[in-house]
Structure 1
């Protein structure tokens, strides 16, 4: 199989595992734990294979047009460089450990099937963010992560602390996502593309007309996801969720997604001294 095919399977497998887990959770509970662990473990192994094949050398890009928009096109695209493939391995490794630990931690929890499916879906979304070469597709993974975190933080919904924490996490992160979305549109308007490679090429050639405005708008979304001041208040309350959720979302992946985004589009931020 080609490297791009394997890369497509990396976020796809946890997604399929989540869908199967939700469908079979009540009717066939014996399949829930294998469906939680095996797709994520396989995705982590494939991420290692992709990383070895990429080898930190020249980036691998593949794309197909998702839909004509009449203006800036949106593509289903992969952008695999050394940074992306390394982060994908780390995400797969942490998610696999969390799924394995959760089988014992939530052994007697009646809501474990939905929990495991949400963790798999979150993992799929994070891997989509890491591998995506198009900012609109990245945004899809970005928002799915936020929705999954809402449900996972509120897993113990019978307690008022968990309900309040999940709602706070959702609203505060979405407060940052609104300017983030506007910033992505402004970036595409300046550069004429949502493709990461196209954006970076345009910035290198001086094609960014409003670097300060765009950088600040994007940083608002980063601050929300990564719990940076002043959008940091949701993170301490979010510890009301199960311990494995804190390990996955608040210590390893979602709070790192904002940092990953900054690193991915670093020339956009360095184009403005005010943003730095």
Structure 2
């Protein structure tokens, strides 16, 4: 039953997305503005139902899963090199799945109002007629991330990884009339593809070495030190691309050209979290490759400092949050570098919650004012009290103010770094903890 729930997890939003792609565009008449167009209603229903169904399955999985569960069946056997279909489930996978599905559901519901044609949409343009493909692409994006979460085989994980990259391109460029959207989408696609070449080669190296792409087989195999170090460094290239680590971080702030709900989805719990989650999933390999962890530690330190400093120079509300995401991802990869995958996952989950809240609150502010520029904002506490308090809670968590969630997860990362530096507690060199 647990294996069946694991298979259903990506299947539910996948079916909703594929059916949604068959819907016609919304007509440009007055009915579309009133939400009466049947294509729009069907797209809304499919999008919300797919995300809600995934969330129900994820919660059921979280309630059931105890000891790790794995199911697999051979899909392709190429001269003794096996590719399998199956799921690999544990408590961490169930928690991440709940976070992904919850954020996806919030984004689908929020998009119903946000992408209704009106004078205060992004750049004041009518994007409502393309709502059906937009909702379908969010469902496919959600399905791809959930496939990464539950995949029991590296090739299956790669499929979800690549579908996410394609969907991010389509979603960032949703409104092609915005001047920066097509270029930002192309930049995100190309920069992440650069990293994905390394990710693909790393997976190939591990699969050939183990004689199987099944994650359990790859983890159990006794790889040579050279093979393991090379494979882990190649995997880190893909992680740097997807999780916006230096030097492949530049696409993330530019991706703000997409609609705000897309920003919440990409930057909170899905695409940028995929790299951190992939390293967590394969962490037993990285433990045996201290050189890779040292490289990851250097990248994390540069990334978290660079992101924080760059955020202070921005006037665009969404770009501030985007650079903040770059910095927070540096904390997660830093926790991994000092040998604390549990601390990294904890910060991944808390960050998914407060950053999704902040992006959706930012969308409400931009929608109301018609501008994303901080220099033109102020005095909104009295006119938008609910948004004010939501933003205050989100910013408190982001800043690590006790007793909010960000305080505990950041403290966990710093405690792990302290233990690595003072007690040489992790698999990486002690200087990584000091850094």
TM-score tier (shorter) = over 0.9
Deviation, structure 1 residue 229: 0.3
Does structure 1 residue 226 correspond to structure 2 residue 226? Answer: no
Aligned partners of 1:233 and 1:207: how far apart in 2?
34
User: 1:212 aligns to what?
Assistant: 229
Q: C-alpha deviations, 1:220-249, integer Å up to 9, x for none? A: 000000000000010110000000001001
**Structure 1: 5+ residue stretches without partners:** none
Aligned partners of 1:158 and 1:24: how far apart in 2?
22
- 1:158-237 to 2 correspondence within 5 Å? 158-202=177-221, 205=222, 209-237=226-254
User: 1:47 aligns to what?
Assistant: 58
Aligned partners of 1:124 and 1:75: how far apart in 2?
19
Aligned partners of 1:22 and 1:100: how far apart in 2?
18
User: 2:77 aligns to what?
Assistant: 68
Structure 1, 131-140 or 28-37: larger mean CA deviation: 28-37
Match of 1:150 among 169, 173, 184: 169
Does structure 1 residue 262 correspond to structure 2 residue 279? Answer: yes
Match of 2:43 among 21, 32, 35: 32
Query: Is the CA contact 1:25–1:32 (under 8 Å) kept in the aligned structure 2?
Result: no
Does structure 1 residue 8 correspond to structure 2 residue 7? Answer: yes
User: 1:251 aligns to what?
Assistant: 268
Q: C-alpha deviations, 1:161-205, integer Å up to 9, x for none? A: 111100000000000000110111111122222111111112xx4
Aligned partners of 2:80 and 2:87: how far apart in 1?
21
Q: C-alpha deviations, 1:91-139, integer Å up to 9, x for none? A: 1111000100011101221111110000000000000000000000110
User: 2:311 aligns to what?
Assistant: none
- The aligned length equals 271
Match of 2:139 among 120, 145, 150: 120
Aligned partners of 1:211 and 1:233: how far apart in 2?
28
TM-score, with structure 1 as normaliser: 0.95
Deviation, structure 1 residue 159: 2.2
Aligned partners of 1:225 and 1:24: how far apart in 2?
30
Say if 1:206 and 1:15 are closer, same or farther in 2 by CA, change over 3 A: closer
Query: Is the CA contact 1:92–1:123 (under 8 Å) kept in the aligned structure 2?
Result: yes
Does structure 1 residue 22 correspond to structure 2 residue 31? Answer: no
Aligned partners of 2:23 and 2:169: how far apart in 1?
23
Aligned partners of 2:256 and 2:23: how far apart in 1?
29
Aligned partners of 1:83 and 1:252: how far apart in 2?
14
User: 2:103 aligns to what?
Assistant: 94
Deviation, structure 1 residue 68: 2.4
SS in 1 for 2:88: strand
Aligned partners of 2:282 and 2:167: how far apart in 1?
25
**Structure 2: 5+ residue stretches without partners:** 27-37, 118-127, 294-435
SS in 2 for 1:76: strand
Query: Is the CA contact 1:25–1:31 (under 8 Å) kept in the aligned structure 2?
Result: no
